Amino acid sequence: MTYLAKPKLHHPRLSTNALGFTRRDYEGAVSTLCAGCGHDSISGAIIQACFELSLPPHRVAKLSGIGCSSKTPTYFLGASHGFNSVHGRMPSVLTGASLANRELVYLGVSGDGDSASIGLGQFAHCLRRGVNMVYIVENNGVYGLTKGQFSATADKGSRSKKGVGNQDSPIDLIGMAILLGATFVARSFSGDKAQLVPLIKAAIEHRGAALIDCISPCVAFNNHPDSTKSYDYVRAHNEAVNFLDVIERREEITLEQEPGTVELVRQHDGSYLKLRKLAPDYDPTDKIAAMTYLKEREAAGEIVTGLLYLDPRSEDLHDRLGTVRAPLNALGEKELCPGSAALETINASLR
């Protein structure tokens, strides 16, 4: 950690986005996490993604629970809305916020403790409800804040820094998310921004519940040779199934690249995702095949990363509930109190 604020001076030729902001304008306070923490890289990737998408920072809400990961929203998007909720309760707060104001971009930032232990129920329900959000789990397999006990995502058989073996089965956040009906499910690695940044961008653009399980080594407690979430282990076992190029254009496009290696997926809202396939037979829109593939590779000891599942026909909670199109804070007295005639109609319909 550092006591110094990051100097405001920046590269003289730093590029600006459509809003005229530089990437530096999307930063937050300087991180107080341990030096080398994977979470800081994820913050860096979120900053890069929001910059590249030219998101107005004041149209983003970042919500978190408790833990090292949940501290990170302080370290990015300093000009956005933030809510640091009760441990494991970020999904409820996010769901409520999303229902009240559907026009913001919601970033739920959580960790393996916050989501897979205390908040597992909340995690499950906000995914199955299809809340329109990006849910990022900064997954390091340990409780870093309490000095390195196994978390619920630690692999069975992996050892703690002190040499204790983990006897319990890990919670598979990816498998759960696919089963529970999340419509955008990806896994990535904090040490690979080239993969992570486009995934975050696509998840933000995706309408519906998007989960990114991001393996994020804990340099202080889980970056040793017996760990399965260390920089070295993840790099050695990382098997990327595809690489994503986000295409924001809405009109029909054609592909110049060789067919078979690149796939265009048209989403419900008309946007396109361009997938460069690294595993030729992997089809992220085939739920059953994807589940099978993931389990096979997991059994082989590999960590599959990339866009793992996508439902192009996604819909979100608002679609299902048929809520009003405007954010609640934009509704005036006329909409909120339609008058006795309207009440009469409603009452009549219930008789």
Closest separation in Å from C-beta 350 to another protein: 55
Alpha-carbon gap, residue 110 to 271, rounded angstroms: 27
Whether residue 49 contacts residue 197, with contact meaning beta carbons closer than 8 Å, is answered with yes
Please identify which residue in 25, 28, 40, 187 interacts with another protein, judged by CB under 8 A: 40
Q: Give me the phi and psi of 65, to 5 degrees please.
A: -105, -120
Please identify which residue in 68, 176, 241, 265 interacts with another protein, judged by CB under 8 A: 241
Site for another protein contains 198 (CB under 8 A): yes
Please identify which residue in 25, 26, 43, 185 interacts with another protein, judged by CB under 8 A: 43
Please identify which residue in 25, 26, 28, 41 interacts with another protein, judged by CB under 8 A: 41
Q: Is the dihedral of CA 100, 102, 107, 113 positive or negative?
A: positive
Could you list the beta-strand ranges (E) of 235-322.
238-240, 242-247, 262-266, 272-277, 303-310
Site for another protein contains 341 (CB under 8 A): no
Count the Cβ atoms, other than its own, within 10 Å of residue 116.
25
Q: Which C-beta is closer to another protein: that of 123 or that of 293?
A: 293
Q: Which C-beta is closer to another protein: that of 99 or that of 145?
A: 145
Residue 276, C-beta contacts closer than 8 angstroms, at least 6 positions apart: 242, 243, 244, 245, 261, 262
Whether residue 119 contacts residue 110, with contact meaning beta carbons closer than 8 Å, is answered with yes
Q: Give me the phi and psi of 235, to 5 degrees please.
A: -65, -40
Site for another protein contains 279 (CB under 8 A): yes
Q: Is the dihedral of CA 135, 140, 143, 146 positive or negative?
A: negative
Site for another protein contains 141 (CB under 8 A): no
Q: Which C-beta is closer to another protein: that of 122 or that of 223?
A: 223
- Considering only the stretches 6-14, 111-119, 145-153, 322-330, report the one whose residues sit in contact with another protein under the rule CB under 8 A: 6-14
Burial of 345 (0-12, 13-18, 19+ CB in 10 A): exposed
Q: Which C-beta is closer to another protein: that of 8 or that of 334?
A: 8
Residue 199, C-beta contacts closer than 8 angstroms, at least 6 positions apart: 186, 188, 212, 244, 306, 307
Please identify which residue in 72, 110, 195, 271 interacts with another protein, judged by CB under 8 A: 195
Q: Which C-beta is closer to another protein: that of 192 or that of 205?
A: 192
Site for another protein in 200-239 (CB under 8 A): 217, 219, 223, 231-232, 235, 238-239
Site for another protein contains 37 (CB under 8 A): yes
Q: Which C-beta is closer to another protein: that of 43 or that of 80?
A: 43
SS3 210: strand
Binding positions for another protein, rule: CB under 8 A: 1-4, 6-14, 24, 30-31, 34-38, 40-41, 43-44, 48, 52, 190-195, 197-198, 217, 219, 223, 231-232, 235, 238-241, 243, 278-279
